[in-house]
Amino acid sequence: MASATSKPAKVTVSEKQGRASSKGVDNYYKTEVTTLGDGSIKRETFRTDAQGNNGVKVQEVSVDKNGKQTSNIVSSNATAGERKALNNPDSQLRGSIKQQTKNAGDIVQKNEADAAAGGLTDAGRKNQEVLGGGSGNNANDEGEAGDTSRPSGEPSKNEAGTRDDFGAPLHYPVTRDSNQDVIKFDMLKYEPKKISGFGFGERDSTRESIGTVTLPIPGGISDANACNWGDDTMGPLQLAAAGLALKALTPDGSTPIGAALGDLKSQLVTNNTEMKQLIQGKFAATAVGADPNSLLSRTQGMILNPNLELLFQGPSLRPFAFEFKMSPRSAAEAKVITQIIRFFKQGMAPIREQSRLFLKTPHTFRIKYVQMGDNDENIYLNKFKECALLSCSVQYTPEGNYAPYEDGAMSSYQMSLQFKELEPVYNDSYKDMPTDAIGF
């Protein structure tokens, strides 16, 4: 039996003030992880002061040795805002607890017998992640070492320094109103699709994030749905040949090749004069190397009917652009801004294996507009498919002059992000949404 406690972390919790309003309250929380003799793990989260003292328990969770959650008790000491945050997997409090559980759990398990041979076991990592509120699917990710997948299917670690865990959620401004709507960026480890029948299966869009940033919703937000359509033509001879081929290939054999040829002969007889003109024009143009339509237009004042039609050619992928201006009002906020910029820059970078033979796909992003009063996705704005970050550009002197603070932090930063969805929007993509929601 062993235990370890994380350092206290500052978290903003939204608490109701009267019937209609809410206010963000800054609290400190720490998490203690304890391994028990039967192989189970217990996690206790406390509200504390800034030094981590005077703890008041708000939640206790236990996981058995097989990674199954056996208890989840929210203490009567927890406030209404804390209860709501603990039930929301995307809340700042849940994100902080997940990171604290990982930090404390690493210390505990390294002191256990199963770590004596060289590190945490896979089962230990899984139990630890479930304890922190995760699914356990990312249990074998080793933080700085990264995931171990490679094209050959054989395990291979990422280059040292690769980052697969971006810590507790980051928020700008750090003192924002808890009722302010935000745009939320969850970073995800890229997951390729698997072949299923004649296509590909669905990518799990609900998998655990490895980092979160929330920012005020910028001006000028928009979306543009589009499909690719194009002009297409098919001449009379091509149509006749295609019709003959389709009838000959009828699966039930209801139109034998002889009947198809008889039908074509009947059309030739019925349109005898026009067919003669077509054949004469075609052969004459071929003989002199001219375009049949050009010859027919010059000599008879007409062209072959091209049967022009606008035809569907495929879906398209939606791009999105956001621009954020961040001006630190304190040294602490300046550090948060630099962490946010680092979050996007490092997250979009390709990942090298230790062998450097392959490059892995960068992390991707789940984006949504959040109504902070209810902490729900805003149904009056568009939804997003999972996105790749194509570019991240930062202007360090958006005011036109170099004006740092005494510690070197810039007085303002302007960050531009260019995203593109990984897959198209299909008609059935709207199936699980309310009819009064805009959707994608």
pLDDT in 10s for each residue of the chain, 440 residues: 678 899 998 888 877 765 555 677 889 999 999 888 788 889 999 999 988 899 999 999 998 888 888 889 999 999 988 888 888 877 888 888 988 888 887 887 776 655 444 444 555 665 666 666 665 655 544 444 344 344 444 546 888 888 989 988 999 999 888 788 999 999 999 999 888 888 888 888 888 899 999 999 999 999 999 999 999 999 877 887 777 777 766 655 555 555 555 565 565 555 556 666 666 666 666 776 777 777 777 778 888 888 999 999 999 999 999 999 999 999 999 999 999 999 999 999 999 998 889 999 999 999 999 987 667 889 999 999 999 999 999 999 999 999 899 999 999 999 999 999 999 999 999 998 888 999 99
Integer Cα distance of 149 and 154 in angstroms: 7
What pLDDT does residue 145 have?
39
Amino acid at position 283, single letter: F
How much is the CA Rg of the chain, to the nearest whole Å?
31
What pLDDT does residue 352 have?
93
Instruction: Write out the E strands in 103-177.
Output: 170-171
Question: What is the tens place of the pLDDT at every residue in 227-277?
Answer: 999 999 998 778 877 777 777 666 555 555 555 555 655 655 555 566 666
| DSSP string computed for 212-248 | EEEEEPPTT------EEEEEE---HHHHHHHHHHHHH
**Main-chain phi, psi angles of 437, to 5 degrees:** -95, 145
* Tokens at 285, concatenated: 């143009």
Q: In this structure, are residues 221 and 316 in contact, taking their beta carbons and an 8 Å threshold? A: no
- Helix, strand or coil for residue 266? helix
Integer Cα distance of 96 and 9 in angstroms: 7
What pLDDT does residue 115 have?
47
Amino acid at position 215, single letter: L
- Helix, strand or coil for residue 94? helix
CA atoms within 13 A on the CB side of 320: 25
Instruction: Give which of 271, 262, 261 is closest to 241, Cα–Cα.
Output: 261
Burial category of 172 from C-beta neighbours within 10 Å (exposed 0-12, middle 13-18, buried 19 and up): buried
CA atoms within 13 A on the CB side of 377: 17
Integer Cα distance of 59 and 74 in angstroms: 4
| DSSP string computed for 63-119 | E-TTS-EEEEEE-TTS-HHHHHHHT-TTSHHHHHHHHHHHHHHHHHHHTSGGGTTTS
User: What pTM does this model have?
Assistant: 0.64
Q: In this structure, are residues 115 and 89 in contact, taking their beta carbons and an 8 Å threshold? A: no
| DSSP string computed for 175-208 | T--TTS-EEEEEEE------EETTEE----TTSP
* Tokens at 108, concatenated: 């505990």
* 8-state DSSP, 250: -
